Chain A
């Protein structure tokens, strides 16, 4: 009996010790993360409620309440950027997921070239976006770009086209550059998911006389749903912050057709030096991101539970 109590006590001591050690090991990381992300976001909100002006050696703030947000909400450039960023993100990510899924399914059973293709697929992922943007800039060039040479040679168009010169083609060109860079990454994730589906599943399905389409719809897709959804969410939010690609490729042009929210924010903050309104743009961006995450997460949750129910 006494031994029992003693054991319990020792166990409790051990637990407490572990908890303290755990909190001690967790805190440094958490403090850094909160200090550089959460606190600045709160400070951002504060700045967005002020009129901030540059002075000789710092900033002067004067509280203006919601007037910055009022300016943002009434600015057509803000809504234009929001809309562009939104449809750009959704379209590129949808294209990446669809292409990624199709390519992964096609090459799932290829035995040779495995190592080589993994390396090749990781190259665009590890490439600095600014470099790939310069690369595409040269490919798209309206005077001596190689893309014009190819489409003219194939008689698809009669004259060289200025790809970055009209809104529709500039947005498409930007999407292609993004899809080129990220699809391989999606392919790798989906391939790994496919590897995890036990062979017995396929066997059983074949026994039941299922055709390829049914196998995909009833076996492969439910298994992949989780990883596709998560990859999609990550990518959408990443795409929502798109900045470097349009910065180099189009500088937001033609007109402001490719001016993403991040570009607008950066311009207002650091080129025109309106820190109050710029912070309001940033805060509005955070709100949009939060809304997207919440919508997606709740949808994702039902997706997962649905998947488990089957």
Chain B
């Protein structure tokens, strides 16, 4: 490069840079709280009468029917001056999280209200991606929820989300096949494995047991259940990762043995809820680990070939254990801090967590968060899952850290490698521990 060109380029660069810097300086303004601290609390529509507003609600398809439309229709009937536009979310929690972090981090004003995973409050709260709802709602609002739920949506003394529905995992099974083979419903993992092998040997079904083994958040949920059944935990009481333990080994070795014994297809290492659900609905597998929605879905003739042949029980546990664990799953309602319609958002969330909407959820086989509705759920809901709840023990993922996404990735990516056979069980666990340790250093790597 000749010196003259260099000079020309430098000049051009400087011109652009100063222009850019002028713009740039305006951007790194430190935050000024816009916390609109209105605290209207009446549940009869907080928005001023007559003014029409439209809000956008980002929501995935919770159940594969018209649940979302039904909720919106019900709300619009109760609050004719607010229109709700549905913005579809992706079917897996990680993709949805990525879309929301980029869009809201970019200052997008829509969606106004979005459905988010129960493990997000820490990350979203610490990065200004969610409006603190305790500034929006009065103290009394939070009394409607079942105990413990609000705690899970709290980070740094702010409540960042309103619990919408609870997710519990169950074992779904093919009643007809078990009957043919004369087998009882399995209550232990070992029994499940041998039952599945029996069914496969008798050529009653192609695969035995399907679950979620892809390298994503769902695998953290599945793994946490086996770990809890084996008596282990992810972090010890002082917050140190302790996966490299006898329990951790037992859990992963069992998951891997499901694959090596042919009970679970190899493809499980690339399966999420959708793929596993599809396999079950196509009649190709005898047992399925999935969330509550699977009951409603499996009974819908539009996509399911196993209508009327499905039974559901609590997830098995390891032989000799008494507790049947399920991960605490579920989805909360968050408010975009850049939303222009905070009052309408508040009205909407108030309605969605109120009795009418929560009953609609129950009718679709989802577990309500509203304590009053939860009490009578088993009498209004058709799904057999409501009757099973007393037998379930819950285990939470350690989502209280803003770096939970990395923590979880340390778990699922290494467990996934062990399941695929590309890492030994003990190596995978050691690596998961060390990556979890470094994830707390707040670098994102």
Report A's interface with B, CB cutoff 8 A: 23, 27, 30-31, 34-35, 38-39, 42-43, 53-61, 68, 71-72, 75-78, 141-143, 159-162, 164-168, 251-257, 264, 267-268, 270-274, 277-278, 281
Given A42-B17, A253-B215: A268 and B265 interface contact (C-beta under 8 Å): no
* Given A39-B17, A60-B30, A273-B105, 10 further pairs, Cβ under 8 A: A31-B16, A54-B127, A58-B30, A71-B443, A142-B270, A162-B268, A251-B215, A253-B269, A270-B102, A271-B98
A53 contacts across to B, CB distance below 8 A: 127
Interface string of B403-438 (1 = CB under 8 A from A): 101100000011011001111000000000001001
**Complex contact B28–A58 (CB within 8 A):** yes
Interface: B12 (CB within 8 A): yes
* Interface residue ranges of B187-232 to A (CB < 8 Å): 214-216
Given A34-B9, A56-B337: A253 and B444 interface contact (C-beta under 8 Å): no
**Complex contact A34–B128 (CB within 8 A):** no
**Complex contact A270–B98 (CB within 8 A):** yes
CA distance A56 to B266 in the complex (A): 45
The 4 A-B pairs with the shortest beta carbon distances in the complex, nearest first, are: A142-B267, A274-B444, A255-B417, A55-B31
B8 contacts across to A, CB distance below 8 A: 23, 30
- Pick the contact of A162: B269, B284, B413, B435 (CB < 8 A): B269
Given A30-B12, A254-B420, A255-B423: A164 and B30 interface contact (C-beta under 8 Å): no
CA distance A75 to B123 in the complex (A): 21
**Complex contact B28–A59 (CB within 8 A):** yes
B24 contacts across to A, CB distance below 8 A: 43
**Complex contact B416–A254 (CB within 8 A):** yes
**Complex contact B34–A56 (CB within 8 A):** yes
A72 contacts across to B, CB distance below 8 A: 443, 445
**Complex contact B443–A257 (CB within 8 A):** no
Interface: B304 (CB within 8 A): no
A57 contacts across to B, CB distance below 8 A: 29, 31-32, 34, 107
**Complex contact A255–B422 (CB within 8 A):** yes
A251 contacts across to B, CB distance below 8 A: 94, 214-216
Given A34-B9, A34-B16: A254 and B28 interface contact (C-beta under 8 Å): no
B97 contacts across to A, CB distance below 8 A: 271
Residue in chain B with minimal CB distance to A164: B270
For residue B148, give the distance in angstroms from its CB to the closest CB of chain A: 27
Of listed B28, B265, B269, B270, residue having the most chain A CB within 10 A: B270
- Pick the contact of B13: A38, A71, A256 (CB < 8 A): A38
Residue in chain B with minimal CB distance to A35: B16
Interface: B236 (CB within 8 A): no
Interface: B27 (CB within 8 A): yes
A167 contacts across to B, CB distance below 8 A: 417, 420, 422
Number of residues on chain B facing chain A (CB within 8 A): 60
Given A58-B31, A166-B422, A252-B215: A143 and B279 interface contact (C-beta under 8 Å): yes
**Complex contact B416–A255 (CB within 8 A):** yes
Interface: B20 (CB within 8 A): yes
**Complex contact B267–A162 (CB within 8 A):** yes
Given A142-B266, A167-B422: A270 and B445 interface contact (C-beta under 8 Å): no
For residue B13, give the distance in angstroms from its CB to the closest CB of chain A: 5
CA distance A61 to B420 in the complex (A): 41
A30 contacts across to B, CB distance below 8 A: 8-9, 12
CA distance A60 to B127 in the complex (A): 11
Interface: B15 (CB within 8 A): yes
Interface: B101 (CB within 8 A): yes
**Complex contact A27–B12 (CB within 8 A):** yes
CA distance A57 to B31 in the complex (A): 6
For residue B310, give the distance in angstroms from its CB to the closest CB of chain A: 20
Interface: B44 (CB within 8 A): no
CA distance A10 to B443 in the complex (A): 64
Given A75-B438, A142-B270, A255-B414: A273 and B101 interface contact (C-beta under 8 Å): yes
Residue in chain B with minimal CB distance to A159: B266
A68 contacts across to B, CB distance below 8 A: 443
**Complex contact A271–B101 (CB within 8 A):** yes
